Structure 1
Amino acid sequence: MNAVVIAVSLMLLLSFARVNVVIALTISAVVAGLVGGLGVDGTISAFNNGLGGGAEIALSYALLGAFASALSHSGLTTLISQTLIKKLGKEPNATNTNVLRWVLLLSILAMAVSSQNVLPIHIAFIPILIPPLLLVINTLKIDRRLIACFITFGLVTTYMILPIGFGGIFLNDILLANLNSNGLTATSSQIPQAMLLPALGMVTGLLIATFISYRKPRHYESVDVKIENTQTRIDKKSIAVSIIAIISTLVVQLATDSMIFGALTGFIIFNFSGILKNVSGQDLFNQGVLMMANIGFIMIAAAGFAEVVKSTGEVMTLVTSIGDIIGDNKPLAAILMLIVGLLITMGIGSSFSTIPIIATIYVPLALSFGFSVPATIALVGTAAALGDAGSPASDSTLGPTSGLNVDGQHDHIRDSVIPTFVHFNLPLLAFGWIAAMVL
């Protein structure tokens, strides 16, 4: 059997068996090399050579984590939370309930979107912003499954189409780099355009969740919960420094086209501003690294895995055999690639980590079927994004659960994983397939 098939199947099996993804990728890479005839030394050499490909992404995540940690201690996210609570009120009356409901939902969506670019803190805002709002959510009788869908939509759709912050990492540093390294000639301007149609699938899913699935009120018990508060005192200097750090991070990132130097700039401003006297810079950096380390190590291991798979030389053998089976049926080829991408991402739990694995197979396969450059971008990008929403191990589902379940009334699988899988992955499959066919 083909070494690529064996390695990917083993990686999926180990991931679904809840084996740590880094370990699953490493074991699967060794198996791929041995089955592919590289031998022990050749496998280790290929794996080590590939590790460097994920180092830049891992460092970006580490520094973004440090910046997020500093931002959470500055008091800005606490101020946003308190402002929302004051705006919404604890006892909304019947006449303004619908307005308050939309203000709350759109505010949470705006924060989720901002957490990927303007405030690149990823899911760090959720345990700070959401728990204080649970009383308001309960009073308005909003279904928390809808809140989970809004948060996941903001986390995932943003990086799919906006090349800033985490979107810059996903679209340019990972997707574009891996497409070109595997034989496609694509430019950075083509990536967001090709991903726009698949992103409409996410929009469709959110509309269905909002106006059909979870439009009815849902009752929750009002339970006293312990609310995380990283800074009890919020002053004008802290807010001013936070705004300066955010703007500086964006400017440096856009000027250098590097999230590493953007996040580093923001962290340095926080570290030397004097507003974080109770927390040392070393502690902040360690907290940030811990928050993002899992993703970073997965990215490094995924790059090593991809290098071993390519070194076996069996990627083209697999492409040829799949082409012989499918024939000239491009629609069938597209849907099969998307479904396999869904399975891989569901197992790994990270669309960022999926691309180095699937690009080695999908780019040659797509080119052999005559897919255009935009169609190939859409296929690989959508196949990677599939499963991020709906994976039990994904930050996009773990994050919402961490905030919504502080009072024990929001089940991770039933209320975060299944709703986001149904409302986002199924439309994303359909729109990703359409994009492959029409682009």
Structure 2
Amino acid sequence: MNAVIIAVITMLILSLSKVHVVLALLIGALVGGLSAGMGITEAIDIFADGLGANAEVALSYAMLGAFAVAISRTGLPDLMVKAALKIVGKNGETKRKSLSKVFIILVVLILASFSQNVIPVHIAIVPILIPPLLKVFNELFIDRRAMATVLTFGLKAPYILIPAGFGFMFHEIVQESMAESGLPIEMDMIPIAMLLPVAGMVFGLGVALFVTYRKPRTYENKEITDVTEKDQSHFSYDLKSVTFSLIAIIAVLIAQFVTGSMILSALIGLIILYASRSLHISHSEGLMNEGIKMMAFIGFVMIAAGGFAAVIQETGHVEPLVQTVVEWVDGSQALAALLMLIVGLIITMGIGSSFSTVPIIATLFVPLAASLGFSPMATIALIGTASALGDAGSPASDSTLGTTSGLNADGQHHHIWDTCVPTFIHFNIPLIAFGWLAAMIL
């Protein structure tokens, strides 16, 4: 068998068998290298050499994680949540429950979306935002499966489409991975290519809210668990800290577009917060540790994915695999695009991170897309969509894990059946359909 197929299948089987994805990537790379005739020492050396490819991304995650923790400590997210609670009413008391239901869904959607690009705190927003709103959901008889789709959409769609905050990092990874695989692109091409796939997610969200989960669902008014209460870190805030946190956020966004560096941008944001004394410099060590801890999983998976991709490329089996697939699909772009998206779904479901999937599938998809005559824009749509597939619905994804952590604060929300299954159905299916359509049109 082809060494690339053996490596990918090994990695997937191990990941789906609950083996940590970093170990799965290492073992998969070694098995692939050995099946291609490499010695184990040679395979390990190649894997080690490839680790540096995504080191900058991993550091970017650590810095952005630290900035996210810093912003949360200024009290800005708490202020936003309290403002939302004040508007909707802490007990959901209203004669127009339908209007209140629409409003609270919009509040959650907007704040979750802001957490990716505008105020890049990622999943850290969930334990701050959701537990205080659970009783409001109960009073309005909101199906938490609907809220799971709303949260997952907000944690996912914005970074796929908008090149700011975590979106800047995702687009940068796509650009660099495609360039390393032989297809240089401009970053401003990515939002255009991903517009239709994200429209598919909007469609899926609409189906979840207006069709699948529109009926009222009853929950008990239980107190949240001690663990969740412990995780909810409420920090005192004043006009100064909130003002400078907003200034820091604006500075980070501007710096991203001017310098193109997430590391420098996050550093500028942290300097503003420390220089303004919104945060004490003595807290910097703990803040960095928390930020690294929050983002460590994706960062380490990204580093390991670079080593895996390096071994895959060195096997020399990518080109034969591409030629075999081209012959098998008989030159059909439609069939090839569908198969590529399904492969992306399987890989991302196994890894649990769309960011970490990009370097792996770019290695396979760029030469395959070129052999089948796909345009650069269509190739971007295929890679971006294929990597995003499975992030929603994967039990190991931070988007689904973060969503469940908030909605299950009182023990009434199941991770698999109430988060993973609803998000898998309503986002992955439309992403395949609309991503395939984008590849055909672009």
Give the TM-score taking structure 2 as reference length. Answer: 0.96
Question: In structure 1, how many angstroms separate the alpha carbons of the residues matched to 2:102 and 2:237?
Answer: 27
Equivalent position amino acid for 1:79 in 2:
L
Question: In structure 2, how many angstroms separate the alpha carbons of the residues matched to 1:178 and 1:252?
Answer: 23
Residue 234 of structure 1 and its aligned partner are, at CA, apart by 2.5
Matched, 1:4 2:7: no
2:219 corresponds in structure 1 to 220
Residue 232 of structure 1 and its aligned partner are, at CA, apart by 4.7
Within-5 A mapping of 1:249-260: 249-260=252-263
Question: In structure 1, how many angstroms separate the alpha carbons of the residues matched to 2:91 and 2:325?
Answer: 61
Question: In structure 1, how many angstroms separate the alpha carbons of the residues matched to 2:404 and 2:209?
Answer: 18
Matched, 1:207 2:206: yes
Equivalent position amino acid for 1:355 in 2:
V
Question: In structure 1, how many angstroms separate the alpha carbons of the residues matched to 2:413 and 2:338?
Answer: 33
Question: In structure 2, how many angstroms separate the alpha carbons of the residues matched to 1:252 and 1:403?
Answer: 32
Matched, 1:132 2:132: yes
Within-5 A mapping of 1:29-44: 29-44=29-44
Equivalent position amino acid for 1:191 in 2:
I
30-39 or 89-98, larger mean C-alpha shift: 89-98
Residue 259 of structure 1 and its aligned partner are, at CA, apart by 1.1
What stretches of structure 1 move > 6 A for 4+ residues in a row?
A: none
1:239 corresponds in structure 2 to 242
2:415 corresponds in structure 1 to 412
1:403 is aligned, of 399, 406, 417, to 406
Matched, 1:362 2:361: no
Q: Say if 1:78 and 1:229, in contact at 8 Å, map to a contact too.
A: no
1:298 is aligned, of 298, 301, 305, to 301
Q: Say if 1:90 and 1:139, in contact at 8 Å, map to a contact too.
A: no
Question: In structure 2, how many angstroms separate the alpha carbons of the residues matched to 1:183 and 1:233?
Answer: 50
1:100 corresponds in structure 2 to 100
3-state SS of paired residue (2:221):
coil
1:111 corresponds in structure 2 to 111
Equivalent position amino acid for 2:212 in 1:
S
Deviation per residue, 1:217-250 (Å, 9 max, x gap): 1111011225454235322122122112211211
Question: In structure 2, how many angstroms separate the alpha carbons of the residues matched to 1:280 and 1:369?
Answer: 54
3-state SS of paired residue (1:280):
helix
1:76 corresponds in structure 2 to 76
1:176 corresponds in structure 2 to 175
2:283 corresponds in structure 1 to 280
Residue 84 of structure 1 and its aligned partner are, at CA, apart by 1.1
Q: Say if 1:149 and 1:209, in contact at 8 Å, map to a contact too.
A: yes
Within-5 A mapping of 1:47-58: 47-58=47-58
Question: In structure 1, how many angstroms separate the alpha carbons of the residues matched to 2:91 and 2:70?
Answer: 33
Question: In structure 1, how many angstroms separate the alpha carbons of the residues matched to 2:385 and 2:179?
Answer: 17
Aligned residues: 438
Residue 93 of structure 1 and its aligned partner are, at CA, apart by 4.3
1:312 corresponds in structure 2 to 315
Change beyond 3 A, Cα 1:334–1:201? same
Deviation per residue, 1:189-230 (Å, 9 max, x gap): 211111111111101100000100111111110112254542
Question: In structure 1, how many angstroms separate the alpha carbons of the residues matched to 2:281 and 2:368?
Answer: 55
Residue 269 of structure 1 and its aligned partner are, at CA, apart by 2.4
Q: Say if 1:200 and 1:431, in contact at 8 Å, map to a contact too.
A: yes
Change beyond 3 A, Cα 1:231–1:93? closer
Matched, 1:372 2:375: yes
Question: In structure 2, how many angstroms separate the alpha carbons of the residues matched to 1:417 and 1:351?
Answer: 15
2:387 is aligned, of 374, 384, 395, to 384
1:13 corresponds in structure 2 to 13
Question: In structure 2, how many angstroms separate the alpha carbons of the residues matched to 1:11 and 1:196?
Answer: 31
Q: Say if 1:249 and 1:262, in contact at 8 Å, map to a contact too.
A: yes
Q: Say if 2:33 and 2:39, in contact at 8 Å, map to a contact too.
A: yes
Question: In structure 1, how many angstroms separate the alpha carbons of the residues matched to 2:409 and 2:91?
Answer: 21
3-state SS of paired residue (2:130):
helix
1:427 is aligned, of 405, 426, 430, to 430
Deviation per residue, 1:81-127 (Å, 9 max, x gap): 11111111134445321222122111111111111111111101100
Question: In structure 2, how many angstroms separate the alpha carbons of the residues matched to 1:373 and 1:23?
Answer: 33
Question: In structure 2, how many angstroms separate the alpha carbons of the residues matched to 1:92 and 1:153?
Answer: 24
Equivalent position amino acid for 2:255 in 1:
V
Q: Say if 1:7 and 1:29, in contact at 8 Å, map to a contact too.
A: yes
Question: In structure 2, how many angstroms separate the alpha carbons of the residues matched to 1:278 and 1:189?
Answer: 37
Residue 252 of structure 1 and its aligned partner are, at CA, apart by 1.6
3-state SS of paired residue (2:116):
coil
Question: In structure 1, how many angstroms separate the alpha carbons of the residues matched to 2:307 and 2:30?
Answer: 10
1:22 corresponds in structure 2 to 22
Residue 382 of structure 1 and its aligned partner are, at CA, apart by 0.7
Question: In structure 2, how many angstroms separate the alpha carbons of the residues matched to 1:435 and 1:56?
Answer: 30
2:338 corresponds in structure 1 to 335
Q: Say if 2:91 and 2:135, in contact at 8 Å, map to a contact too.
A: no
RMSD: 1.4
Q: Say if 1:194 and 1:375, in contact at 8 Å, map to a contact too.
A: yes
Q: Say if 1:62 and 1:288, in contact at 8 Å, map to a contact too.
A: yes
Equivalent position amino acid for 2:284 in 1:
G
Q: Say if 2:365 and 2:383, in contact at 8 Å, map to a contact too.
A: yes
Change beyond 3 A, Cα 1:258–1:277? closer
Deviation per residue, 1:35-68 (Å, 9 max, x gap): 1123233212221221111101100100111111
1:324 corresponds in structure 2 to 327
Q: Say if 1:143 and 1:218, in contact at 8 Å, map to a contact too.
A: yes
181-190 or 116-125, larger mean C-alpha shift: 181-190
Give the TM-score taking structure 1 as reference length. Answer: 0.97
3-state SS of paired residue (2:340):
helix
2:151 corresponds in structure 1 to 151
131-140 or 418-427, larger mean C-alpha shift: 131-140
Q: Which 5+ residue runs of structure 2 have no aligned equivalent?
A: none
3-state SS of paired residue (2:374):
coil
